[in-house]
Amino acid sequence: MKNLLLAVAFLISLQIFRQEDAWVYLRNKPNSKTYLAAPLSMLSRRALERRTRQNILLDLKDVPLDAAYYNQINAATGITVLSKSKWLNAIHVQGTQGDINNLKSNFLFVSQVEFANTLLNLKGKKSERSFQKKKNKFTAMKSNYLYGTSQTQVTMLNADFLHRKGFTGAGMLIAVIDGGFPNVDKLLALQRLRDNNQILGGYDFVNKSVDFYTGSNHGTNVLSDIAGFVEGVFVGTAPDASFYLFISEDVNNEAPLEESLWVEAAERADSLGVDIINTSLGYTTFDNDNYSHSYADMDGSTTFISRGAEIGASRGMLLVNAAGNSGSTSWKYMGAPADAAGVFTVGAVNAVENIASFSSFGPTADNRTKPDVLAHGENIFVIDHLTGLPKPSNGTSFSSPVMSGVVACFWQAFPNLTNTEVRQRIREAADRYNSPDEQYGYGVPDFKKAYETVLNLDKENLIQTITIFPNPVTRLFTIKYSSTNMLELNLKIYNLSGSKVFEKKNLKRSTVDISGLDAGVYMLKVSHGCSQKIIKIVKN
């Protein structure tokens, strides 16, 4: 009996002193008015310009956490602060259950405590879960590249079409959030990046270090599929883009902290004016099973990282994420943040566009289509971090950066599109758009089709802006429209009986002479391709 009591006492003591992870949510941001009145104190000029282009207003989520609140939490008894998020107004802490719960009791500015082990939360019981057994890692000159080993992964999406048009990612800013970037500062295949100063910086959020050329080679492989360049040997999908390289993945541990560090990295990317974030990571299970997610959590609004991703998308960035490599496992579904509605989730196919068996399934728990699209990810080529030579590999980890690079080229072509419009145009150009599938999603997109669709829509919209002046017309009228580029227009003028009385084809001049027409009322039809507009003309 004595031994039994000792054993029970020991187990109780373990429970009392066991360290738990939790997010502490704060009630407000007392200095918000000061920050919102001085946007450059929160965001770079480039970030503000991105917001302006997409008509996105600043809000409370852009304001940093209150420093006084943070310092009080950091100094609290038994509490270790591991990370923080301004978007979610939350601090990731570690401590005993008692010490963490005391934060809500002791500080009025704490609104809620959410334990990573959801059994400790007051909301209720965690839903039944099915676990995955292993973690998922998953204006330039016109360019006629010799792609070499990367030929299939580039041409499958018609990225080469965009390159030939001169869209190679120049002026676009991409953040790669991953597990490490060893030898990116040395590899010949990435020398072009270095020589052109296209690596603008980075940070290791795991080790709190400015040395980001370290850690897992996974990030190096991922980056190579976007930016690698050895003419005739290997060319990435956006070789002229610029980059920030962030480490949020702790390759030695699988813990909820990685979700928080990812959100921190995404916030940093936002503040620097990044256009696109590539994430070839996904979270479902952790080393401590009590922290693991269920399929029911894959609804885009439950996990910390997916909530952060949604906010990132709302800031105007385009977040591209690997679907995951669980398609042939009992789990089979995508991980977080690939489940978020604002995330562009990428699955994998082989060289002949058949689905890779490992590519994770959708839909999300709330029945949204995932993945969004597919790219080459089975027997795809990456740059080896040791040899600097192309080598075959597998995973949605690599279909995602292939897609990120082409998205950068496409957005470079149409910079006035919003991130939401870019995602939708790409989906519409995919081969299964009208019949999406739980593993194929909307399918493999054709970026030539997407480009031409947007171009035609732009021309149609441009035609609709056409006006003429003066009207009534005595002899000459001038055509005016909202573009500095001159379109080749076709003009036809009809009388009220429907007879054509005037025609000009491939008109490049803006002034038209109709002195030969009698006085009266006419209908002018202006057209370009399939787009047209009818304007009533009064001739004096």
R_g of the chain computed on alpha carbons: 28
* The token pair that represents 346 in the structure block: 């990428």
**Three-class SS of residue 494?**
strand
Distance separating the N- and C-terminal Cα atoms of the chain: 113
> Distance between CA atoms of 149 and 401, rounded to whole angstroms?
16
Catalytic status, residue 92 = no
* The token pair that represents 84 in the structure block: 């923080």
* The token pair that represents 163 in the structure block: 């390159």
Amino acid identity for residue 108 in this structure: L
Catalytic status, residue 218 = yes
Q: Beta partners for 308?
A: none
Q: Which of 62, 66, 160, 218 is catalytic?
A: 218
> Distance between CA atoms of 72 and 92, rounded to whole angstroms?
14
Q: What angle is formed at CA 455 by the lines to CA 452 and CA 457, rounded to 5 degrees? A: 110
- Look at the alpha carbons of 201, 206, 208, 209 in this order and tell me if their dihedral is positive or negative: negative
> Distance between CA atoms of 375 and 281, rounded to whole angstroms?
16
**Three-class SS of residue 175?**
strand
Q: Which of 62, 178, 225, 384 is catalytic?
A: 178
**What burial class does residue 524 get, using C-beta atoms within 10 Å of its C-beta: 0-12 exposed, 13-18 middle, 19+ buried?**
buried
Q: Which of 85, 397, 400, 404 is catalytic?
A: 397
Short-list 514, 454, 465, CA closest to 487: 465
* The token pair that represents 411 in the structure block: 């957005």
Q: How many CB atoms lie within 10 A of CB 231?
A: 12
Catalytic status, residue 397 = yes
Which DSSP helix (H) or strand (E) runs through 98?
Answer: helix 97-106
Q: Which residues, 6+ apart, have CB-to-CB distance to 149 below 8 Å?
A: 233, 234, 381, 390
- Give exposure, 445-473, as e/b (b: 16+ Cβ within 10 Å): bbbbbbbeebeeeebeebbeebebeeeeb
> Distance between CA atoms of 79 and 330, rounded to whole angstroms?
37
Active site residues: 178, 218, 397
